[in-house]
A = this chain, B = another copy of it.
């Protein structure tokens, strides 16, 4: 395999990561035609190329979620304002972000409705009717829905006034069972992100400051973007009995018959993952997608010469390859027979992140071969037509594996320990996950954020017991936590 030369055309339209990472991100999304800003402040339009990625994510996650016994349902978009007020921390957390319907059907409403910023309240109101006895538990419900949280500094996929997500809501007879469920779903997210998105994550607990409004414990998976900043890719909450008490969700115990409050969880991932996918893998040429989640995994580009007879044979061979890949190798594949010139085609599909390109021209036909070009590395490889299906399957597997390896390598390289304040600040400034000691005081955490712009992304599950001194106060600490600037 030989290294492909840089495509000069791409540099015109996509700002380099080094020059301006934020602009690069916008450029990649535009060049791959994933999404755009809408005339509705903070809301995006998810275009077909972007939505196809979401559909693939949904399909995989939906199966994974259902395989744990959860069933899908659908609850109202609009939530009576008084519901939100039942859980004190919850309303405090969400009040600044809510959109309110005050008029409908031509009249002012006697009670305003909130457009759901999350559905704990409306779902737990239903749970209070649905759950009577221990036989109704565990209650395991998931919803795919749109969510509205008013966003002052919107960024495509990462922060939008409206986004799409799944939100799981469960109720259990015991605290232990609820906590196990919350951790089970976090592990499911972690595995999904590694296996499908080729993104390694750091999983752990959130500090009190960063906890979901109303949760007893928030678990998180944090991914590193190429600039060393963190993106919270998904969260899972142990809600304790907070909502059960607010919404009076009780069940009759199996043995004693006594009424007890249920123990609950909620957990979700959203279209934000698409932003993470873009920032974790893409390059200065455009989008790079891992094969497992790419809507189109292979693009076949016939290279035509203008000679009718040869071109006919090339196109026929392209169709044969399409058929074999689609129906035997079970690959998501397209053939590009448009009238654009070949260079423009290569460039177009590179920008869109198709993992593998197959080039096929007259010379290739003569030599009974095709050329494979990897999007992630640019490597080219000649493959005999007789071996093409098997090789394509292998290369797609190699791309998937190597994309994860590269992301892991970067994560490792940009994760550092710091024991002095100067080192700590310098590592954060240059884009790192910084493992540092913290005394456990929420006020200190806020001070560190004010001074550095970084937050504690999580107290990692894999935290080693290690005596040390808080990076700001010097007070005693029993282990390092993960600090980073975050999206």
Residues of A within 8 A of B (CB): 38-40, 43-48, 51-52, 54-55, 71-80, 83, 95-106, 112-113, 115, 122, 125-126, 141, 145-146, 148, 150, 152, 161-162, 164
Contact = CB atoms under 8 A, between A and B. Distances in A.
A83 B44 CA distance: 17
8 contacts: A40-B113, A51-B71, A51-B72, A52-B71, A78-B148, A99-B104, A101-B115, A146-B146
A75 B38 contact: yes
- The 7 A-B pairs with the shortest beta carbon distances in the complex, nearest first, are A105-B150, A48-B71, A43-B76, A99-B104, A46-B74, A100-B103, A40-B76
B104 A150 contact: yes
Nearest to A271: B74
A105 B101 contact: no
B52 A78 contact: no
B96 A106 contact: yes
B76 A45 contact: yes
A55 B144 CA distance: 11
Most chain B beta carbons < 10 A, residue from A40, A126, A148, A161: A40
A107 B105 CA distance: 22
Contacts of A126: 38, 45
A95 B101 contact: no
A229 to B, nearest CB: 25
Contact of A77 (B74, B76, B80, B148): B148
A107 to B, nearest CB: 9
Nearest to A71: B48
B102 A98 contact: no
A194 to B, nearest CB: 26
A352 to B, nearest CB: 13
A75 B46 CA distance: 7
A144 to B, nearest CB: 9
A369 to B, nearest CB: 32
B97 A100 contact: no
Contacts of A162: 76-78
B101 A99 contact: yes
Given A51-B73, A52-B72, 8 more contacts: A43-B78, A45-B74, A46-B73, A77-B146, A78-B161, A95-B106, A101-B101, A101-B115
A141 B150 CA distance: 27
Nearest to A43: B76
B74 A164 contact: yes
Contact of A78 (B40, B45, B145): B40
Contact of A40 (B73, B79, B102): B79
A115 B109 CA distance: 15
B102 A39 contact: no
A82 B125 CA distance: 36
A80 B42 CA distance: 13
A453 to B, nearest CB: 23
